[in-house]
């Protein structure tokens, strides 16, 4: 884990209130798909939780930049991110995290809620780029269809790829098309859409309450704890 000087190069809108931020780094960050970094705006107080935040990489290591993605909440940190202009310098501390993809996994499953999709994007981007034969299934829960981040990328990666499947679910209102399921991810949904989900190595990313709830659901359908990879996102 190192402190790395980085230059902001631009941003990409992912939904109405979710945006990706890209940085060119002074040295290559050797991170693994699923890891995260700390973006530091206040170097004088490293424990300043308002201005120094942990964010997952939302790109594969093969990309020529470091990308993080944030739901913009109006916080001081969000405001600083939004105020960045190309050429502005920031400090990154990276890489961190042990909830990572291993090439030896033949079948993987992902359950992600909201901004918890970011490390999943890093892993799937890696799978697709390297042409791996890993069989991957994603259950991705959002409040509405409009809040589904990275949908264009996910749909493109699924197109013509029988090794990758994505199930979108929305919770706050019925979906506008047949592509999404309505309601929370639960045992019935998992078993109906993916009967063999319990046999996969399952990654669960999201807010702590969601991670706890989905862990219980996975145990209900027979996933052994040894196959569960968990990471909770809080403070966002």
- 48 and 118 in a single domain? The answer is no
- 91 and 111 in a single domain? The answer is no
Mean pLDDT of 204-232: 95
- 122 and 227 in a single domain? The answer is yes
Task: Answer positive or negative: Cα dihedral of 63, 65, 69, 72.
Answer: negative
Burial of 25 (0-12, 13-18, 19+ CB in 10 A): middle
Domain boundary among 69, 96, 123: 96
Determine the pLDDT at residue 235.
58
Domain boundary among 39, 64, 96: 96
Residue 166 domain boundaries:
107-232
- 68 and 166 in a single domain? The answer is no
Contact, 109 vs 166, CB < 8 A?
no
What distance in Å separates the CA atoms of residue 203 and residue 99, rounded to the nearest whole number? 8
- 153 and 228 in a single domain? The answer is yes
- 11 and 79 in a single domain? The answer is yes
Grouping H, G, I as helix, E, B as strand and the rest as coil, residue 108 is strand
The enclosing domain of 69 has a CATH number of 2.40.30.10
Average predicted confidence (pLDDT) for the chain:
94
Determine the pLDDT at residue 173.
81
Residue 7 maps to a domain: yes
The enclosing domain of 218 has a CATH number of 3.40.50.80
Percentage of the chain exceeding pLDDT 70: 99
Residue 102 maps to a domain: no
Coarse DSSP helix, strand, coil percentages of the chain, rounded to the nearest 5 percent: 25, 35, 40
Q: Which residues contact 159 (CB under 8 A, 6 or more apart)?
A: none
- 12 and 118 in a single domain? The answer is no
53-104 pLDDT tens trace: 999 999 999 999 999 999 999 999 999 999 999 999 999 999 999 999 999 9
3-29 pLDDT tens trace: 999 999 999 999 999 999 999 999 999
Mean pLDDT of 150-160: 96
- 75 and 33 in a single domain? The answer is yes
- 219 and 168 in a single domain? The answer is yes
For residue 222, the number of C-alpha atoms closer than 13 Å in the C-beta half-sphere is: 10
Mean pLDDT of 171-193: 87
Domain count, the chain: 2
What is the phi/psi pair of residue 57, to 5°?
-65, 135
- 131 and 88 in a single domain? The answer is no
Contact, 46 vs 105, CB < 8 A?
no
- 73 and 171 in a single domain? The answer is no
Whether pLDDT at 40 is above 80: yes
Please report where in the chains the tokens 């050429």 appear, as a residue: 87
- 77 and 129 in a single domain? The answer is no
pTM: 0.95
Which pLDDT band holds residue 111 (cuts at 50, 70, 90)?
A: very high
Grouping H, G, I as helix, E, B as strand and the rest as coil, residue 199 is helix
Which pLDDT band holds residue 236 (cuts at 50, 70, 90)?
A: low
117-154 pLDDT tens trace: 999 999 999 999 999 999 999 999 999 999 999 999 99
DSSP codes joined into one string, 135-172: EEEEEEEESSGGG-TTHHHHHHHHTT-TTEEEEEEESS
């Amino acid at each position: 884990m190192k402190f790395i000087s980085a230059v902001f190069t631009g941003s990409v809108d992912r939904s109405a209130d979710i945006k990706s931020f890209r940085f060119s780094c002074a040295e290559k960050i050797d991170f693994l798909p699923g890891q995260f970094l700390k973006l530091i705006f206040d170097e004088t107080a490293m424990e300043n939780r308002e201005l120094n935040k942990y964010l997952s990489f939302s790109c594969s290591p093969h990309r020529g930049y470091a990308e993080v993605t944030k739901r913009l909440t109006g916080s001081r940190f969000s405001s600083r991110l939004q105020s960045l202009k190309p050429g502005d310098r920031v400090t990154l501390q990276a890489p961190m995290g042990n909830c990572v993809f291993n090439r030896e996994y033949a079948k993987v499953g992902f359950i992600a809620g909201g901004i918890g999709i970011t490390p999943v994007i890093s892993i799937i981007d890696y799978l697709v780029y390297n042409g791996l034969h890993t069989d991957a299934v994603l259950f991705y829960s959002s409040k509405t269809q409009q809040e589904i981040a990275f949908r264009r990328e996910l749909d493109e990666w699924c197109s013509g790829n029988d090794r990758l499947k994505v199930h979108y679910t929305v919770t706050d209102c019925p979906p506008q098309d047949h592509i999404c399921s309505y309601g929370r991810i639960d045992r019935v949904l998992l078993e109906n859409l993916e009967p063999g989900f319990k046999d996969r190595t399952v990654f669960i990313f999201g807010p702590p309450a969601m991670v706890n709830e989905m862990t219980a659901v996975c145990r209900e359908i027979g996933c052994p704890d040894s196959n569960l990879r968990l990471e909770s996102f809080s403070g966002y």
